[in-house]
Amino acid sequence: MNQKKRYTHLFFDLDNTLWDFNTNSLHAMHKAFAFYKVQFEKTNFQLFYNAFVKNNSFLWEEYRKKKVVKKELIRLRFQYTFNHLNITGINPEEMNEVYLNEMPKQTQLVKGAKQVLDYLKKKGYALSIITNGFACVQNEKLDTAGINHYFKKIIISEEIKSPKPARIIFDYALKSTNAPKKSSLMIGDDVESDIRGALNAGIDAVLFDPLNKYQNIQLSENQQVKNFLYLINTLDDLSLIV
């Protein structure tokens, strides 16, 4: 990280990069679980939430691969969870609606998010978001968390009809913000969606790795030659790069 390039346009992932998805999802699910307290009175919340997280992660991966569509994802992530725990009598689409209504009400940000955004805005960087997700939810998250004003452009996969890591969404981001590729930088926590997606589109990338899971990450020689990959453990570490 001791070699700096001159960047002008920074693209952030949202969930678990700036907005604390893990914490906020847990709180939102607590609300949804409590709403159905009679039906769930014999079910342990943590078991339910753990099963949901596993099913949700699997279905989002399928969604990114275009093997399931939005309507299937929002139904199946709860239906699979109900099936796993032998829960009956609850409409999976209705519980999904309760959960999604609660999600954007949660406001926990990743540690240091506002401070780094203030720092980057003050330095004059053009900041944008590239996020996978549903437009109504992602936009409301930014509003309620009080960080939407930092961003020049909010690029959401549902609106572009192409989720990360597909090159289409990164190309769209560059074009719609008039960002030179060589002066652009993607910051995200997901190795495949954010990092490999950006690198494959010819954009330098920063892997945000707060749990030190990827210290030995390897890229192909071709990618190492063409683009920079930086690794940070805190958002404060961005000041070492930009």
What value does the CA radius of gyration of the chain take, rounded to a whole number of Å? 19
Q: Give CA torsion, residues 142, 144, 148, 154, to 10 deg.
A: 30
Catalytic residue among 13, 189, 190, 209: 13
CB 152 within 8 A of CB 10: no
Written as one letter, the residue type at 112 is G
What tokens appear for 126 in the block?
A: 């053009």
Distance between CA atoms of residues 153 and 77, nearest Å: 30
Token pair, residue 1, equals 């990280």
Residue 13 is a catalytic residue: yes
Could you give the residue numbers annotated as active site? 13
